[in-house]
C-alpha cells in the first residue's frame, strides 16, 4: 500500500534556504505534491510534480524528485517568517482515482 | 477566486449524537472528497464521490459514515453516532475531473466529540 514519510520538524533562520524531505513507497505514484498548512487554516497546494519529471521550479520553490530512491524534496529559497507552517508531502495514483496519500507533515519554524 | 467552503468551522457534539458536516465544492467540479486529520496524525482519505455515488472509500469509512450531495451544490458527510475517536479536523476537497492534478481543499471543520 501507499506510505509517505516526512521528518517532523525543521528550524531555519530567516533568509536561509529550507529543505524539506519526503519518502514514499508506491512506485506507481503519478503526481507528488507539496501542501502548506498554516495554523487554523486548510491545506494550500504549493506545487506539484509529475512522476516523469526530475525537477520543477516555481519562484522560491524548487521540487526535486528522485524516482529511483522514491525521494521528494522541497527547497524554499530565502525563507521568510511567513513560511512558518506545516508542510505536507502527498502522492496520488491515477489508477486509484487520484486520491491523495499524505505524509505526517513537517513543521517548519523560521527564526528571525 | 473560487474556493471550497465548509461549515461549521468548529462543531462540538456529545458522544452518540449524529453530526452533519457541510461542504460547498467549487461549482464546476465533478469529483468530491472527504479527508480527516486527527490531532497530531496524518491527513487520511475517507471517501471519494463522483456522479452521485461513492467511487472509493477507506477502511475508516464504515457504516457510521455516509455522504450525500442533496441539492447539486452541497456535499455532506454524516456521522450517525459519534465516538470520541471521531474527534478530528475534517477536510472537504473537490477537483474538476479525475485527471486534473489539483484538488482544492476547504478550510476544514474541527469536530470535537465529548
If one counts every other C-beta atom within 10 angstroms of the C-beta of residue A62, the result is: 17
Would you place residue B99 in the very low, low, confident or very high pLDDT band (cuts 50, 70, 90)?
low
> What are the distances in angstroms from CA A20 to CA A35, A61, A69, A80, B52?
12, 11, 16, 15, 38
Q: Phi and psi dihedrals of A55, rounded to 5?
A: -150, 150
Q: Given the DSSP bridges, would you call strands A44-50 and B43-50 parallel, antiparallel or unpaired?
A: unpaired
Q: What is the pLDDT of residues A56-109, one digit of tens each?
A: 999 999 999 999 999 999 999 999 999 999 999 999 877 666 789 999 999 999
Q: Is the dihedral of CA B18, B109, B5, B98 positive or negative?
A: negative
Q: Hey, what's the torsion of the CAs at A92, A107, A43, A41, to 10 degrees?
A: 170
Residue with cell 465548509: B6
> What are the distances in angstroms from CA B25 to CA A15, A21, B9, B95?
37, 31, 15, 8
B41 touches chain A (CB under 8 A): yes
Please, are residues A91 and A103 in contact by the beta-carbon 8 Å criterion? no
A53 touches chain B (CB under 8 A): no
A87 touches chain B (CB under 8 A): no
Interface test with B, best of A4, A35, A37, A43 (most B CBs within 10 A): A43
First to last CA, chain B: 36
d(CA A91, CA A64): 14
Would you place residue B80 in the very low, low, confident or very high pLDDT band (cuts 50, 70, 90)?
very high
pLDDT for position A39: 83
B contacts of A26 (beta carbons < 8 Å): none
Q: What is the pLDDT of residues B8-47, one digit of tens each?
A: 999 999 999 999 999 999 998 999 999 999 988 889 999 9
Identify the DSSP state of B71. Answer: S
B contacts of A88 (beta carbons < 8 Å): 43
Instruction: Provide CB contacts within 8 A for B71, sequence distance 6+.
Output: none
Helices and strands, number each (H, E), in chain B:
0, 11
Please, are residues A110 and A12 in contact by the beta-carbon 8 Å criterion? yes
A contacts of B45 (beta carbons < 8 Å): 99-101
Residue of chain A whose alpha carbon sits nearest to that of B47:
A99
Interface test with B, best of A22, A99, A102 (most B CBs within 10 A): A99
Instruction: Provide CB contacts within 8 A for B59, sequence distance 6+.
Output: none
Residue B92 Cα, gap to closest chain A Cα (Å): 10
Average pLDDT over all residues of chain B: 92
Amino acid at each position: 500500500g501507499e506510505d509517505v514519510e516526512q521528518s517532523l520538524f525543521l528550524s531555519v533562520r530567516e533568509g536561509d534556504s529550507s529543505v524539506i524531505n519526503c519518502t514514499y513507497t508506491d512506485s506507481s505514484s503519478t503526481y507528488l505534491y507539496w501542501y502548506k498548512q498554516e495554523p487554523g487554516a486548510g491545506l494550500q497546494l504549493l506545487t506539484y510534480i509529475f512522476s516523469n519529471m526530475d525537477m520543477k521550479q516555481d519562484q522560491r520553490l524548487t521540487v526535486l524528485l528522485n524516482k529511483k530512491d522514491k525521494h521528494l524534496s522541497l527547497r524554499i529559497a530565502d525563507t521568510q517568517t511567513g513560511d512558518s507552517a506545516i508542510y505536507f508531502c502527498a502522492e496520488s495514483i491515477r489508477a486509484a482515482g487520484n486520491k491523495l496519500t499524505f505524509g505526517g507533515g513537517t513543521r517548519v519554524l523560521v527564526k528571525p | 477566486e473560487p474556493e471550497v467552503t465548509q461549515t461549521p468551522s468548529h462543531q462540538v457534539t456529545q458522544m452518540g449524537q449524529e453530526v452533519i458536516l457541510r461542504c460547498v465544492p467549487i461549482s464546476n467540479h465533478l469529483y468530491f472528497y472527504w479527508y480527516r486529520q486527527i490531532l497530531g496524525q496524518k491527513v487520511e482519505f475517507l471517501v471519494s464521490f463522483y456522479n452521485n455515488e461513492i467511487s472509493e472509500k477507506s477502511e475508516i469509512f464504515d457504516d457510521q459514515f455516509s455522504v450525500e450531495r442533496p441539492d447539486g451544490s452541497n456535499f455532506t458527510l454524516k456521522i450517525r453516532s459519534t465516538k470520541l475517536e471521531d474527534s478530528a479536523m475534517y477536510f472537504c476537497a473537490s477537483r474538476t475531473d479525475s485527471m486534473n492534478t489539483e484538488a482544492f481543499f476547504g478550510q476544514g471543520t474541527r469536530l470535537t466529540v465529548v
